[in-house]
């Protein structure tokens, strides 16, 4: 789990740096009305952190296999109005949630990392997969933020 936590910290540092260097036009630019801006991608990462923090916590005491409940990604981005939110607030929320997640990751044992989960498609996996996948998902979106043209 140490390598996953290290990757998470590197992505948080990179994301913080990126958002501190981008202009308001760069973070709010939308290629099309249906495409997310960089700020909305950050909002999506906040929603992902909220949902996964709940999952990573609940699996500790819920019956196994723990069933992953999907969430409406587009609906949450719209409902939270990330496009019109203060960037510094979003960055701070994202960092705080992920520092909590990294602490929770560090508390896991070999036994807890093997807790079974059922994914939305019925596939059975484990908590370690879910935590690794969370960081992979974040990495995908940080790369997307780096490459989206404004």
Question: What does the pLDDT look like over 119-133, one tens digit per residue?
Answer: 988 899 999 999 999
Give the tens place of pLDDT for each residue, 21-62: 999 999 999 999 999 999 999 999 999 999 999 999 999 999
What is the value of pTM for the model shown?
Answer: 0.96
Give just the sign of the alpha carbon dihedral 135, 42, 107, 59: negative
Average pLDDT (3-32) is 96
Longest dimension (CA), the chain: 47
In a 10 Å sphere around its CB, with 0-12 CB exposed, 13-18 middle and 19+ buried, how is residue 108 labelled? buried
- How large is the average pLDDT for residues 93-98? 98
Looking at 2.60.40.720, 2.30.42.10, 1.20.120.450, 2.60.40.1180, the CATH number of the domain 2-147 comes to 1.20.120.450
Domain boundaries, the chain: 2-147
């Amino acid at each position: 789990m140490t390598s996953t936590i290290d990757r998470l910290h590197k992505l948080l540092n990179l994301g913080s740096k990126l958002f501190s260097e981008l202009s308001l036009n760069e973070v709010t630019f939308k290629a099309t009305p249906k495409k997310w801006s960089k700020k909305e991608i950050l909002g999506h990462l906040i929603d992902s952190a909220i949902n996964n923090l709940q999952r990573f916590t609940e699996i500790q005491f819920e019956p196994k296999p723990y069933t992953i409940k999907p969430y409406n990604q587009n609906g949450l981005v719209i409902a939270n109005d990330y496009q019109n939110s203060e960037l510094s607030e979003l960055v701070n929320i994202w960092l705080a949630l992920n520092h909590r997640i990294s602490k929770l990751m560090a508390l896991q044992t070999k036994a807890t990392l093997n807790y079974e989960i059922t994914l939305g498609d019925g596939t059975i996996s484990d908590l370690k997969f879910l935590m690794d996948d969370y960081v992979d998902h974040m990495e995908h979106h940080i790369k997307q933020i780096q490459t989206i043209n404004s």
